[in-house]
Each structure stands twice: as structure tokens, then as C-alpha cells.
């Protein structure tokens, strides 16, 4: 469907692949990789990121070992797919992976960095890449914490998926462009993939979203759908600093995908970049 809608790359979560194929990590075989590559090649679509969302900050040692094994399997499979990076969120320091204030501590950052370092060792061994995606609901929830992780885990296989909206929450939406500028300044040299989306603020904290105790929550939409987040400065940065960087639209639906694509096309034309891969 992505190719039919005009997009040239996708993010493929391993859990979606498992559910659609009826497998677990043991089913990540060369035969499956060859099949997927043939299907994607025919559609004119590449895999920008193979997603693996296991908690690397968990204090449960057995759970951590199993999660690391999951990353190892995905790193190997990513190489079979043609060398795409493996992307991950940044976890939380509890075995339930629940959103709580414990994610804000130095200990949480240390736990995540320790788990990440082990995955980076495996990535280096197979010639792969592991990309972390900072987000408000997780352990790496500010540009400064992202920079700290990059300094603690100085692996050539480590990079960043930058989703500007994921670092926002209701209390800071008026500072969105300042936060974006700081992220690009501190971590820009490590950004390998972009996520493009927009948001709205809803006056309750009862549902899914980015909450901060204010009584409101941030709900995500596809890029350009609400006009609350201006993605064009990120496009301009990408055109100048990282031409060709993959950009994945998130939180759109088939009914809004065409408008999201048109938004990216317009921004890209203004900045001299391609809309499909910035």
C-alpha cells in the first residue's frame, strides 16, 4: 500500500511482521527476507527501519537477556533484508515497561545505556546499525539525555531516529522549535532517519498520548494534518546536512496519506530536497 500511496520507504515493526506471518524471532529466516525483498522491490519500496521495541532498561535480568536476543535476531534479519538499521524506543526502568517518573532518573539512563551497549556490540559484529528514538514517555526524553547516551555508548553502529513530536508534551509545545533546534545541534550528526508527524492537544489525560500531569495530553497525527508542528525547519536541515535521509510519515491513515505526502512535497520543494527521501 505504501508504494501505491506514493511513498518509497517504510518502517517495519518486527511485532507486525510476527503477527502477519505467524512467527516469532525463530522465523526470521533467509527465505522470509528474500520473499519480503521481492515483494517490496516490486512495489518500489525499501525498508528504512526494522523496528524492535523491547525494553533495554528493564531491571529484570532474565527479561533483559531475552530482549537482547530479540535485538540480535532482528540485527541479523536486517542484514538479510539488505542492511537496513534496527530501530528501538528507549524503554523504562521497570519490568512492566509502564510510563512512570522513574524514567526521568540518572539510574534509568544508566540502565538503558548499559543494555544498549550490549546491543551495539552485536550490531558492530554483524556490520549493522541500531537507532534509538527518543520520546517523552521513555527514558531518553530530552535532547540532552539523548546526547548523554550517545556519549556513554560511543559505538560507530549507534544512530538516532529523530521524531520531533515525540519529544513534546503539553507543557512545552510552545517551545517546540527551540527543542527541535537543540536536538539538531546536540545530536544532528547521529540522526539517520526522520519521522514526520503533527499533533493536537486534548483536554484530558484519560487516553493514550503524551501526558505530563497538566490534565491535557498530546495526540499524534500525520505531518501537516493539524498545523501545530512546523516540520519544514527539519526538512531544511535534512536538505543541507543529510541529503537522502529516509523520512517516514507516522500516524497518518490511508484517507490522510495523500495530504501528508503533499505537505512533504511542498516543504521539500521549498528546501530543495526530495519528498520521499529527504
| CATH number, domain with residue 54 | 3.20.20.150
Instruction: State how far Cα 247 lies from the chain centre.
Output: 10
Handedness of CA 35, 39, 42, 47 (dihedral sign): negative
List alpha helices for the chain, DSSP H: 14-21, 30-43, 61-80, 106-126, 143-152, 176-187, 232-241, 254-271
In the Cβ-directed half-sphere of 180, how many Cα atoms lie within 13 Å? Answer: 21
pLDDT of residue 182: 99
Would you say residue 24 lies in a domain? yes
Would you say residue 274 lies in a domain? no
Q: How many domains does the chain have?
A: 1
Which residues are within 8 A (CB) of 184 and not within 5 positions of it... i.e. 6 or more apart? 162, 191, 234, 237
Q: Confirm whether pTM is higher than 0.75.
A: yes
Distance (Å, whole) CA 266 – CA 272: 10
| Average pLDDT, integer, range 207-231 | 93
**Residue 177: count of CB within 10 angstroms of its CB:** 13
Per the listing, cell 519528498 goes with 275
Q: Which of 113-117, 169-173, 215-219, 264-268 has the lowest mean pLDDT?
A: 264-268
User: Which residues are bridge partners to 161 per DSSP?
Assistant: 193
Distance (Å, whole) CA 153 – CA 172: 28
Would you say residue 254 lies in a domain? no
Q: Can you give the residue range of the structural domain that contains 158?
A: 9-162
Q: Is the pLDDT of residue 28 over 60?
A: yes
Would you say residue 174 lies in a domain? no
Which of helix, strand or coil describes residue 91? coil
Would you say residue 40 lies in a domain? yes
Amino acid at each position: 500500500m505504501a508504494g501505491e500511496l506514493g511513498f518509497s520507504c517504510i518502517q517495519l515493526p518486527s511485532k507486525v511482521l510476527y503477527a502477519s506471518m505467524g512467527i516469532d524471532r525463530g522465523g526470521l529466516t533467509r527465505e522470509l527476507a528474500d520473499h519480503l525483498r521481492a515483494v517490496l522491490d516490486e512495489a518500489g519500496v525499501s525498508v528504512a527501519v526494522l523496528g524492535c521495541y523491547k525494553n533495554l532498561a528493564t531491571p529484570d535480568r532474565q527479561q533483559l537477556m531475552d530482549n537482547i536476543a530479540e535485538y540480535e535476531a532482528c540485527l541479523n534479519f536486517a542484514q538479510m533484508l539488505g542492511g537496513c538499521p534496527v530501530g528501538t524506543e528507549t524503554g523504562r526502568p521497570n519490568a512492566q515497561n509502564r510510563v512512570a517518573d522513574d524514567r526521568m532518573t540518572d539510574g534509568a539512563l544508566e540502565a538503558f545505556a548499559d543494555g544498549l551497549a550490549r546491543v551495539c556490540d552485536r550490531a558492530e559484529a554483524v556490520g549493522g546499525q541500531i537507532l534509538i528514538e527518543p520520546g517523552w514517555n521513555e527514558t531518553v526524553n530530552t535532547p540532552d539525555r539523548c546526547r548523554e547516551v550517545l556519549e556513554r555508548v560511543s559505538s560507530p553502529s549507534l544512530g538516532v531516529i529523530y521524531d520531533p513530536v515525540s519529544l513534546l508534551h503539553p507543557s512545552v509545545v510552545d517551545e517546540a522549535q527551540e527543542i527541535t533546534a537543540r536536538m539538531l545541534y546536540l545530536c544532528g550528526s547521529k540522526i539517520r532517519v526522520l519521522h514526520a508527524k503533527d499533533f493536537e492537544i486534548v483536554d484530558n489525560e484519560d487516553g493514550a498520548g503524551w501526558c505530563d500531569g497538566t490534565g491535557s495530553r498530546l495526540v499524534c497525527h500525520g505531518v501537516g494534518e493539524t498545523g501545530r508542528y512546523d516540520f519544514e525547519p527539519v526538512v531544511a536541515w535534512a536538505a543541507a546536512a543529510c541529503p537522502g535521509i529516509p523520512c517516514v510519515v507516522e500516524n497518518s491513515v490511508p484517507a490522510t496519506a495523500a495530504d501528508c505526502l503533499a505537505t512533504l512535497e511542498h516543504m521539500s520543494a521549498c528546501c530543495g530536497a526530495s519528498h520521499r527521501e529527504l
